[in-house]
Amino acid sequence: MRPTGKLHLGHYTGALENWVARQNEVEAGGKRTFDTYFLIADYHSLTTSLETSDVFDCTIDMVTDWLAAGVDPEKSPIFRQSQVKQHTELFLIFAMLVTASRLERNPTLKDQVRDLNMEAVSYGHLGYPVLQAADILLYKGNAVPVGEDQLPHVEITREIARRFNKQYQHPEIGDVFEEPEPKITKFSRLAGLDGKMKMSKSLGNTILLSDLPEEVQNKLRKAVTDTQKIRKNDPGRPEVCTVFSYHCRFSPPEKVEEIERDCRSGALGCVDCKKLCSAAISQELAPILEKREGYAARPDLVKDILLSGEKLARRIAQTTMQEVHEAMKIG
């Protein structure tokens, strides 16, 4: 993730909870299914803002949320992209293996330019998925937990891996890179409070993982519902209601069925529906809030976790780049 500070529910349902699940997944014999790596994409943040004075503070806030949500630094190294120099070296090599026209067809880039009202795209922003390919392949990533909006980037990574392997073969191991597979989360996109397709801090339509129950309730009061359900007794359409989409994720299945039925019949008004929703969200966030308070009180511990993760990441990255150099016969 890019270090944008405290995380919101969209980050949680779209990526973070899936990350934690993959981290803790074990096979029949008790062995972990995946070795997991958690990267703070601080160089990627330059694609939308050149202001870097608060990047470190935002990084600490974000890592605190990661840890509170269950990322375990004993299992998963956490590290900053900028502190592992091999990311930019591999990015440079990969940049020679993909055309500008291929990158211009990237639908994720087009969506971002539209959503942020960008007048022009920098060379670095166009090459965002190439750097992302380096982020993945530097650690021999073969499974990438992503939201659906990142699928085009994983496909570009696969294309770059194929192109490198076709162009260069290692004398001992053959293909240096495996083509990674995307692992989609079930709730890969969570609508914003304003009903927009995506929850985003830049759009001001979020609920933060660190929001207290009263803050969640206050934010839910302003959430967009069915515009045709004006009075409490009016029949509603849950399928077009942002709040109901939150219920589908945070409320128990039997409660979701009851809410849907009572909304359609007019027995449940939007005010009461929002109260039920805020309670369900806060109940799930409660253990995260408790853990977050502990880490927030010990910022030096969070920094030490970063430094330890970066030391391990550099070791792995150096090994990969040695293989790259040997395959290219420039090492």
The structural domain count of the chain equals 2
Q: What are phi and psi of 78, to 5 degrees?
A: -115, 130
Residue 3 lies in a domain: no
Q: Are residues 104 and 253 in the same domain?
A: no
Q: Are residues 290 and 324 in the same domain?
A: no
Alpha-carbon 259 to chain mean position: 30
Q: Are residues 23 and 134 in the same domain?
A: yes
Give the pLDDT confidence of 8-56 residue by residue, as tens digits.
Answer: 999 998 889 988 999 999 998 889 999 999 999 999 999 888 999 999 9
β-bridge pairing 78-80 and 143-146: unpaired
What is the CATH number for 236? 1.10.240.10
Is residue 145 helix, strand or coil? strand
Residue 166 lies in a domain: yes
Give me the percent of the chain exceeding a pLDDT of 90: 82
Residue 200 lies in a domain: no
What is the CATH number for 145? 3.40.50.620
Q: Are residues 98 and 245 in the same domain?
A: no
Give the pLDDT confidence of 185-209 residue by residue, as tens digits.
Answer: 776 678 999 998 789 888 899 999 9
Please report which confidence band the pLDDT of residue 89 belongs to, taking 50, 70 and 90 as the band edges. Answer: very high
Residue 204 lies in a domain: no
Residue 226 lies in a domain: yes
Sign of CA dihedral 244, 246, 249, 254: negative
Say if residue 112's pLDDT is above 80. Answer: no
Q: Are residues 290 and 303 in the same domain?
A: no
Residue 197 lies in a domain: no
CA distance 12 to 246: 13
If you count DSSP H runs as helices and E runs as strands, how many of each does the chain have, helices first?
14, 4
Say if residue 248's pLDDT is above 70. Answer: yes
Domain membership of residue 286 as a residue range: 211-295
CA distance 119 to 131: 22
What the block records as the tokens of 221 is 């009061």
Which has the closest alpha carbon to 209: 38, 98, 319, 69?
Answer: 69
Q: Are residues 168 and 219 in the same domain?
A: no
Residue type, position 53, single letter:
S
Residue 199 lies in a domain: no
Strand partners, 181: 143
CA distance 323 to 173: 9
Give the pLDDT confidence of 267-284 residue by residue, as tens digits.
Answer: 999 999 999 999 999 999
Q: Are residues 216 and 153 in the same domain?
A: no
pTM of the predicted model over 0.85: yes
Q: Are residues 96 and 181 in the same domain?
A: yes
Q: Are residues 146 and 256 in the same domain?
A: no
Q: Are residues 181 and 74 in the same domain?
A: yes
Residue 198 lies in a domain: no
Place of tokens 């699928």: 151
Q: Are residues 261 and 135 in the same domain?
A: no
Q: Are residues 91 and 109 in the same domain?
A: yes
